[in-house]
A and B are shown apart, each in its own frame.
Chain A
Amino acid sequence: MIAGQSNISRLANTPAKAITPFFAYAAISFAIACLMLIFSAEALLRHYLNPEIIAITHVLTLGWVTMIIFGAVNQLLPVLIESGIYSIKLIFITFAFSSVAIPMLVYSFYNFNMGNLAMFSALLLLTSIFIFLVNIALSIYRSKTENIHAIFVFTSAIWLLVTGVTGFLQVYNFSEVLLSNNSFYYLPFHAFSGICGWFLLLVIGIGSRLIPMFLISKYSNHKLLWTIFILINSGMVIFVFFFLKSFKTFWYFLPLSLVFIAVIMFGYFCLQSFKQRIRKVVEPQLKISLISVASIAIPVILISCLIAITNNLHFELKLISLYGFIVFFVCLSLLILGMTFKTLPFIIWNKEYGKLAGKFQTPTPKEIYSNNIFNVMIVIYCFAIFAFTTGLIFSIIEIIQIAASLMFISSVLYNFNVFKLIFHKAKIS
C-alpha cells in the first residue's frame, strides 16, 4: 500500500439537485392521495373498477411510490454498482416527463376520459420509463461489475416497462381497438407486473444491499439472492404465459407459490442479517422498514385466498380492497416512510456539509430533520393502518374516513420533515 495523490473525486455521488425533486414530488403526491381517500371512502366499498379508485391508485403507484423509487435508485445505484450514474441529464428528463404525465393521467382517470389527454400522458410516461431504464442499463454496463443487486434493479425496471407498455395499450384500447379483449381484462396483468415485477424485485434488490449495510451485518448470501431472483422471475413469466393462454384460475397457485417461497426466503435473509448484525441498537427508521418487509407475506396470502374463493363476489371485492390497501399503505408506504429518513438526510448533509466537514462543527444528518415529528408521524400512521383495515373488513365508511384523515395528518408531518430537509441550508459554528 503506497500513499499518493488524493483520489476522493472518483467517489462523486449523484448531485442532490437531481434527486430531491423526486422526493418533493412523491411527498406531495402522498398527501394528495391521502386527501383523495378521505373524500372517496365510499368508493372503496364499491367495485374497485371505478374512476376514483383507479385515480387514487395511480397517484399512489406513480406519484408516490414510483417517483420516490426513481429518486432513490438514481441515488443508490452508484452504491450498488460501485460506479456513477451514466447521465445526470437523463435523470432530469425522466423527472420532467413523468412529473407532467402523472397529473394528466390521474385527471383523465378521475373523469374517466380516455381521450387525447390520457393517450398523450400515457405516451409521455412510457417515454420517461424508457429513459429511466436506458440510464440504468448504461450505468450498469459502464460499471462492468457483476452484481446481483444491480441485476435485481435492472430486471425490475424491465418489468416496469412491461407494466408501462400494458398500461399504454390499455389506455389506447379505449379509443382504438388494439387488444383482443377490453382494457379491463388486462388489469390483473398490469397490476401483477407492476406490483411483483417492479416493486417487489426492486425492494428485494435494494433491500438486500441496504439492510445489511445499515445494520452493519456480516451476513451475505448471494446464492440465496439468486434463488429468490429466479423464483420471482419464473413466477412472473409463468403468470404471463397462463394469462395469455387464459388458463383456469387455480393454475395461478403455481406462480404465486414461487413468489411466496421467494418472499419467505427474503424474510430469512433479513432475519439472518438482523441476527448477525454488529450494530446492536436498531434505529426506528430501520425497524419500520423491517416490519414493512415482513408484511410482504400478507398480500401474497390474500391473493391465494382470492384464487381459492371464486364464488363469492362480495368477499372477493373485499379481499381485493384489502390486498390493494396492504400493498400500498403497509408494504410500500411504511417502507418509504422509514427509508426516506435513512437516505434524504444524508443526501442533503452531503450537499450542505460535505466540503465543510472537519473544518467547522457541523450537525449530524439525523439533526437536520425533526425526529420527534418522525415518531409522531409513525404512531399516527400505525393507528391509521389499524383503523383502515377495520373499516375495510367491516365496511364502515366513517371509520375509513377517520383512518384516511389520520393518514393525511401523517402525510402532512412527512411533508414537513421532507421539505425541512430539502430547504435546509448549512449552519456552522
Chain B
Amino acid sequence: MNVLSNNNIKSETGINALKEVMDPEIGLNIVDLGLVYELNFDEENKTVNLLMTLTTQYCPMGESICNSAKNKLETAFEGYIANVELVFDPPWTFESLSEEGRRFLGRI
C-alpha cells in the first residue's frame, strides 16, 4: 500500500478516513484492499482529489464505494469538496493488498 499525495500531513487524516470505507462484499476497507492510488489537496479551490480503482471495472458495488469515500473525505475535511476519480490503469491486482488486507483474508 503506497498512496501518493502532495500533502503528507493531511493525507494521513484522509487515509484514516478512507480506512472506514468498506467494500461491502469483501468486508475490507479500500485502503488495505489497495484501491487508493493518490490523495491530493487543492488549497486554493478547497478540494480533495482522490484517485482510486476498483477490484473490477463496473463492480456492482462501485458506485456506493465511491460515494462512501466522497462522504468520508468531506466529513474529515470540513469545507472541502471531494472529487473521486476512478482509473483502471494500473489495474488492481492481488499484489495491491496490504499486509493487513492479506491477514484479513486469511492469507498470512
- Do the beta carbons of A11 and B70 come within 8 Å of each other? no
- Do the beta carbons of A7 and B26 come within 8 Å of each other? no
Instruction: For A3, give its contact among B22, B49, B56, B61 (CB under 8 Å).
Output: B49
Cα distance A7–B66 in the bound complex, in angstroms: 9
> Would you call B69 an interface residue if the criterion is a C-beta within 8 Å of the partner chain's C-beta atoms?
yes
Mark each residue of chain B from 19 to 36: 1 if its CB lies under 8 Å from any CB of chain A, else 0.
011101111000000000
Residues on the B chain within 8 Å of A398, using CB: none
- Do the beta carbons of B60 and A8 come within 8 Å of each other? no
> Would you call B38 an interface residue if the criterion is a C-beta within 8 Å of the partner chain's C-beta atoms?
yes
Cα distance A364–B29 in the bound complex, in angstroms: 13
> Would you call A279 an interface residue if the criterion is a C-beta within 8 Å of the partner chain's C-beta atoms?
yes
Cα distance A11–B58 in the bound complex, in angstroms: 6
Residue of A nearest to B33 (CB): A216
Chain B binding surface, main DSSP class: mixed
Known contacts A6-B70, A280-B107, A365-B24; A357/B83 CB under 8 A: no
Residue of A nearest to B37 (CB): A1
- Do the beta carbons of B49 and A350 come within 8 Å of each other? no
- Do the beta carbons of B26 and A350 come within 8 Å of each other? no
Cα distance A287–B107 in the bound complex, in angstroms: 19
Stretch at the interface among A78-86, A239-247, A251-259: A78-86
- Do the beta carbons of A359 and B75 come within 8 Å of each other? yes
Known contacts A11-B86, A79-B59; A1/B94 CB under 8 A: no
Which residues of chain B from 52 to 69 have any CB-CB distance to chain A below 8 Å in the complex?
Answer: 55-69
- A-B pairs with CB below 8 Å: how many? 113
Mark each residue of chain A from 210 to 223: 1 if its CB lies under 8 Å from any CB of chain B, else 0.
00011010100000
Cα distance A76–B105 in the bound complex, in angstroms: 25
Residues on the A chain within 8 Å of B10, using CB: none
Cα distance A281–B40 in the bound complex, in angstroms: 36
B75 CB → nearest A CB, Å: 7
Known contacts A8-B63, A79-B60, A213-B56; A3/B24 CB under 8 A: no
Mark each residue of chain A from 352 to 368: 1 if its CB lies under 8 Å from any CB of chain B, else 0.
01110111000011000
Which residues of chain A from 61 to 91 have any CB-CB distance to chain B below 8 Å in the complex?
Answer: 75-76, 78-79, 81-83
B51 CB → nearest A CB, Å: 5
Cα distance A208–B9 in the bound complex, in angstroms: 44
A82 CB → nearest B CB, Å: 4
B105 CB → nearest A CB, Å: 5
- Do the beta carbons of B21 and A11 come within 8 Å of each other? no
> Would you call B79 an interface residue if the criterion is a C-beta within 8 Å of the partner chain's C-beta atoms?
no
Known contacts A358-B70, A359-B71; A218/B94 CB under 8 A: yes
Residues on the B chain within 8 Å of A188, using CB: none
Cα distance A281–B28 in the bound complex, in angstroms: 14
Which residues of chain B from 65 to 94 have any CB-CB distance to chain A below 8 Å in the complex?
Answer: 65-72, 75, 83-87, 94
- Do the beta carbons of A8 and B105 come within 8 Å of each other? no
Q: A79-B56, A79-B59, A358-B67 are in contact. List 7 more A-B contacts (CB 8 A).
A: A3-B85, A281-B106, A347-B60, A350-B61, A353-B64, A357-B24, A359-B75
Some 9 contacts from A to B, beta carbons below 8 A apart, are: A3-B85, A4-B83, A5-B85, A216-B55, A278-B102, A350-B64, A355-B64, A358-B72, A364-B24
